[in-house]
Structure 1
Amino acid sequence: MASVLVCVKRVPDSSSEIVLTDDGQAVDGRFAGFTMSQHEQCAVELAVQAASATGGEATVLTLGDADALEQVRAALAVGCTAATHVVADSQQLGPADVAREIAAVVRDHEAAGRPHDLVLLGHDAADTGDFQVGIRLAYELGRPVVNGVTRVVVEEVDGQTVVTASGDGPDGHETYRVPLPAVVTVLEGGIEPRYPTVPGRMKAKKVPVEERELSGAPAGPARVRWSLPPAAPSDVHVLGKGPEAAPAVVDLLEQLGVLAR
């Protein structure tokens, strides 16, 4: 039986144009909408599968304001059965703050008789690009950590419960096997996240969400400001007009390798 804690974050939808806030401290999602990253969607799916396969429980955790409950409910709608919300302004938290707060939740739940054998996170934050939280959390908890995998399975090996995590590395496919409890960060692409059903969404609305305050004062992200790179210039070359442009079109197609003489 594996108890899995999966961590999600409310982030701006990056599928549209990126706009920064006026102070350059964050991505402005007012016009793009909000979601959870694809890494975290896959992490939620893996958490639900691991808990279901072992008869355990998948708990979703988020740090954010009241609007972040939308992402919590989304995870509950696809199979998580418990939820914790650390109420905070996520823009005021740096990676060390986030790792500390997740660790505090893990320790408090363990003290209350709800230990989490496996903690899953997205490989990086979709809005800030931080790749640090998984590593920092593992150090906080004194647990082994595997980064950037696409598949996670909890299984018994030689009488010991382990997590087998695999993904593509620089030299080919890699597989790691570490004992529980452990921390794993997930990359998108190894599994197809399920979509919530109408009954799932209705059920998610009834699940009580544990609310917590920050365990300590945040140190902050130590960020100066972000800036967007200049838009790539576009270059248009007019080949001609009407039938007179035909030879130039043929020459261009030959240059592109579409036509051969």
Structure 2
Amino acid sequence: MLLVHGFSATPQEMRLFGQALCEQGYTTLAILLPGHGTSPQDLATKRYEDWLKAVEEGYRELKKEETEIFGMGLSTGALLLVALAARVEMAGMVLLSPYLRLRHRLASSAWWLRHIKPYHHRPLPPETALRYYESRPLNGVHQIHRLIRHLRPLLSKISTPALAINGSGDQTIRVESGQALFTLLGSRHKEYHLYGPEVPHVLCTEENPRWRSVLALSLQFLARSQEDSAPASAGDHRVP
């Protein structure tokens, strides 16, 4: 299982679900995206291609141990998994808080604002300060928009089974754009779930009051995907 965290975060963001997946028998690898876990200044120098390269390297590493690779990504991590699925074969992917549009009204202007105001500052409570940057480089937001532009024409060509989950209480992205991404995916087997206003952007930590439900949905989807991909045994007749 390849775990991909979100923008300005660290693999710590995926720890709760990663532990649960390990307990279910999945070989799990949580990668650290370039520019993360270091400093906002370092992140400001990275491009989405650097992030995608790291995700693909993680996939190759897991491929040494497992024949079938599943992925789970949060937010920008979900977008990177979708981009990976356009390049390699994956058995399934869980997309937590996927999107095609950010919520902030100035997000689309990051490409030129980054030259005037390089960083966006936000106060963080102590319990989350270890997982996220308080200062986020606007060049990173610009890279996210580049990633989205890269993804759009690929979505209909992607056939990887997918589970997409959004929360309508999300204050980071436009939830309807997550539904749009799901609709555009060419996957024959795909599922979409939308939680209510009590569910925030980060779905896989205890800050989400419905995290247990999200985890259960994810495990059910993964189990079904494994069953669907398993070769039929003698006497097992499957109808296409």
- Same fold, TM-score > 0.5, yes or no: no
**TM-score, normalised to structure 1's length?**
0.27
**TM-score, normalised to structure 2's length?**
0.29
The structure where helix makes up a greater share of residues is 2
The structure where strand makes up a greater share of residues is 1
Point out the structure with max Rg over C-alpha.
Answer: 1
RCO (CA 8 Å, sep 6+): is it higher in 1 or 2? 1
